[in-house]
Each structure stands twice: as C-alpha cells, then as structure tokens.
Amino acid sequence: MEKLLVFIPAYNCEKQVPRVLTQLLDPRVAPWVGACIVVNNRSADGTEAAVQDWRRRHPEAPVHLLRNDQNYGLGGSHKVAFGYAAAHGYEHLVVLHGDDQGAIADLLPILESGAYKQYDCCLGSRFMKGSRIKGYSALRVVGNHGFNALFSLVARRRITDLGSGLNLYAVAPLKNGYYKKFPDTLYFNDCMILALCQMKQKVLFFPISWREEDQVSNNKLTSFGVSLLKLCGRYLRGPRAFVEREWRSKIIDDYTYTEIPVQQ
C-alpha cells in the first residue's frame, strides 16, 4: 500500500481543523497516510494552537505543522506543499482543506481500486452524479454549474468542478514547477485546471460529499465570477501563453516555511 502525503491548507479555521485532522484516524484512511502537513498561512486566530493541542492528544499521528514565513495565500500554500512532497520523495499528494467541508474518506474508492495511479490528478467534484452537497444555496449550485459548463467549452474538456477542497495529485508531473507562476490567490485552482487541460494531462473527476455549516468563506462571489470570466478570455487568446505567463503581482522566488515542533 502506497503511503500518501496529506496536505491541509489552514487559514483562520481553529474550530474546524481539529475535526479535519481527526478524519486521518479513520481506520480505513490511516494506513494510506505516510505523513500529514498542516500549512498554516499566518492565521490570525487560534488555528496553530488548535493544531498543537490536537498533536499533543494524538502523538501517534504523523502530523507536521508548517508555518509560512509570509502570508502566501491559498495558492502559495499549495506551492509549499508541492515542493515538500517532491523533496520528501512522495509519489502522490492529497489536498484536504482545513475548513472541514470535505471528507478524505471519499478518496477510498479510487485508492482501493488503484484507479488513481492511472491519472496525473484526481479532482473532487461537488457537482457530478453521486456527489452530495449540504448547506449550498440554489443560486450557488446553479452558478457553479454555469461556470463548469463555460470552462468545459473553453478548455474543450468536460469539467465538473473548478476547485473543491479534496484533490489528489501525482507528484512527478509537478516537479518541473509549471505551477509556480500561477496566482497565489484563490484563483490558483482555476489556473491549474486550465493548465492541466492545455498540457493534456490525465484528469479524473470523482464525486464527493461537501457541506457548509460553521465555515466562513473568504470568497466574494461577484468579483470571483468576473475574475473567472477574465481567466476564460485569457485562455482563449492563447492556451500555451496562459500557462507560461507570470500571473503573480508579487514575485516570490522561494516559498519558505518554518516547521513548528510539538509544544508540550
């Protein structure tokens, strides 16, 4: 059985992140987890203390706490994790957001069947047959279906989710660092999906369960929608140039972090 690296991006989710970590103790999930890195993106609340408390209560769990040396954004935290996975010899990386909207157990069917090994990435989808959503308004569901259809048309490939909080990436295709110029913001995943299509990588969408209960969204829907339209326009003007261009307003050469030891 392959040992996976689980990456939990965490920003101001002190209430939710202990629940996410507890998912790793599921006896069906635990054998797959080689290590877990919680990447704290300079949270302003008690996220880091909550992780430390959880680690003290579960010393057997292979959980590491990394603190970004700057606030890099969600995309920047992904870049930290991708680099960590390559440097530590992992073949596959799981992304599980720290706000406890997704369930890592939804990966088990493709892990246990070995299907994940046939793809460059496996992307959790909230909007395909077999998915289960709780707490989403009808407007948000309709809006997501609309943008999924638009991106599918633009990319000439069926896309059923532009970026959920449960994904699995093969590490080998990431080693050339093509993603480093992508935005460090919430738009990182949207650029990744279009890049995967342009590079003709093998992508599997799989159904997941998703819920909104006590989470706080950092996403402003109107501005986000406008930005997605602009991304589609840029991709249509030149797919290859889209992947190769510099998207960041602030260039960071090295996404550094500090590993935080367990504090007794």
Q: In the chain, what are the domain boundaries?
A: 4-252
pTM of this prediction? 0.94
Q: Which CATH superfamily is domain 4-252 in?
A: Spore Coat Polysaccharide Biosynthesis Protein SpsA; Chain A (3.90.550.10)
Q: Would you call 74 helix, strand, or coil by DSSP?
A: helix
DSSP assignment of 206-256, as one string?
EE-EEE-SS------HHHHHHHHHHHHHHHHH-HHHHHHS---SS--S---
Record the tokens describing residue 154, joined without a space: 């633009």
Tens of pLDDT, residue by residue over 70-83, are 999 999 999 999 99
- pLDDT recorded at residue 32: 98
Tens of pLDDT, residue by residue over 114-130, are 999 999 999 999 999 99
- What is the CA angle 54-56-61, rounded to 5? 70
- pLDDT recorded at residue 214: 64
Tens of pLDDT, residue by residue over 154-181, are 999 999 999 999 999 999 999 999 999 9
- pLDDT recorded at residue 219: 55
Tens of pLDDT, residue by residue over 15-73, are 999 999 999 999 999 999 999 999 999 999 999 999 999 999 999 999 999 999 999 99
Looking up tokens 């007794």 gives 264
